[in-house]
């Protein structure tokens, strides 16, 4: 048995335990749990001279996934010209419900990574797009498919309601 195989087998039990606890207590949104696991695996495999698995790389990508920062200047390129569905969070820095939704938006970004883009547009800094789409209540989430707005959600949304809205329009894998 090679050093890589031995290292991999030893870590598999630890990784399974962390994943089990994370799922049991719904910690999939907890970056520290995943970051600790992914960093540990990366360091140990690198030390042993082994190639990190694509599953571990996906965990790291999931952690670092952030919504796209949309502006008046890049909106057409990233939203209306996009062939991938995109959920746009129209928010304002003075809007408390908008700020309270940020963790849900970030979690959704990680969970939908590779399937749906998620973007944020600060309406206070991007009045042209806010006017064009008649954004007058906050938070407001717009779902675009093939550049066309297909759904508009107004007010604070739970992860469950966002997932249900997305599923009406898009075939997705499991979204918690």
Report the C-alpha gap between 131 and 1 in whole angstroms. 64
98: annotated active-site residue: yes
Q: Which two tokens stand for residue 133?
A: 């789409």
Alpha carbon dihedral 2, 4, 10, 15, in 10-degree steps, equals -150
Q: What does the alpha-carbon distance between residue 37 and residue 112 come to, in Å, rounded to a whole number?
A: 20
- The CA distance from 70 to 67, in Å, is 9
Single out the catalytic residue among 4, 30, 50, 95. Answer: 95
CA distance 88 to 75: 10
**30 an active-site residue?**
no
- 4, 30, 50, 98: which is the annotated catalytic residue? 98
Active site residues: 95, 98
């Amino acid at each position: 048995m090679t050093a890589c195989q031995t290292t991999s087998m030893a870590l598999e039990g630890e990784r399974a335990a962390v994943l089990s606890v994370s799922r049991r207590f719904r910690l999939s949104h907890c970056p520290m749990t995943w970051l600790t696991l992914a960093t540990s695996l990366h360091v140990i495999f690198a030390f042993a001279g082994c190639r990190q698995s694509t599953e571990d790389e996906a965990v790291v990508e999931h952690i670092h996934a952030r919504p796209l920062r949309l502006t008046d200047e890049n909106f057409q390129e990233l939203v209306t010209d996009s062939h991938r569905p995109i959920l746009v969070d129209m928010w304002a820095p003075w809007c408390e419900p908008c700020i309270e939704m940020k963790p849900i938006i970030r979690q959704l970004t990680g969970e939908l990574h590779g399937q749906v883009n998620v973007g944020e547009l600060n309406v206070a800094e991007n009045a042209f797009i806010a006017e064009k789409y008649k954004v007058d209540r906050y938070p407001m989430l717009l779902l675009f498919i093939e550049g066309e707005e297909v759904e508009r959600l107004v007010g604070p949304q739970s992860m469950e309601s966002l997932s249900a809205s997305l599923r009406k329009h898009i075939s997705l894998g499991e979204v918690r």
